[in-house]
Amino acid sequence: MAQNQISKTNQIESALIENVESPIEAMGYQLWDVCWIPNQHVLRVYISKENWEDPVTHVDCGRITHAIETVVEENPKVRESYHLEVSSLGAKPSIRTLGQLGHFLHQPLEFTDCHGKKFTAVISSIEDDGAIKWQEGSETSTNSKQHGISDFKRIHVKKARF
């Protein structure tokens, strides 16, 4: 994907997060993520319930779809046709922000760094400056500011315990 396409995708996702977060939260759900997949014309919205132990059902997804479809249609960043998909996090949610990572402190996570190295670690803390402390095996590591969350290709919850 070209760099300008990535920037456009990030702009669309950011604008949509701002638009759909309030109506979703007003209904008692939490917005987890918004993913715009331009080559497939798909807009995916991931949600959870405020009590993470309660499962998100297809009825919940339908209610959210109905509540946000007009807001999405009115967003000037979405200029092309799309298919709206509202979904639960699933059993192994993908983590893209420090805020999301904070929900899974002390749980095993699967990391893939930018060089393709995969490892499992347990996050012990997230510092105010964004540094992440984790335990991999028996050693405790701290990633420095230049190796923040954006340096990982993927972070997945190994097994979600909400």
- Say if domain 98-157 classifies as CATH 2.30.30.100: yes
Beta strands 152-157 and 108-113: pairing type?
antiparallel
- Burial zone of 86 (CB within 10 Å; 0-12 exposed, 13-18 middle, 19+ buried): buried
- For CATH 2.30.30.100, the residue range(s) in the chain are 98-157
Residue found by looking up tokens 């990535």 in the block: 6
What is the rounded CA–CA span in Å between residue 114 and residue 154?
A: 9
Beta strands 29-37 and 42-49: pairing type?
antiparallel
Contact 49, 56 (CB under 8 A): yes
The answer to whether the predicted template modeling score (pTM) of the entire model surpasses 0.95 is no
**Class of the CATH-defined domain 3-88:** alpha beta
- For CATH 3.30.300.70, the residue range(s) in the chain are 3-88
pLDDT truncated to tens, each residue of the chain (162 aa)?
A: 443 444 455 777 888 888 899 999 999 998 988 888 888 888 999 998 877 678 899 999 999 999 999 989 888 777 778 899 999 987 777 777 777 778 788 888 887 776 777 878 888 888 777 777 777 765 555 554 334 565 565 666 665 444
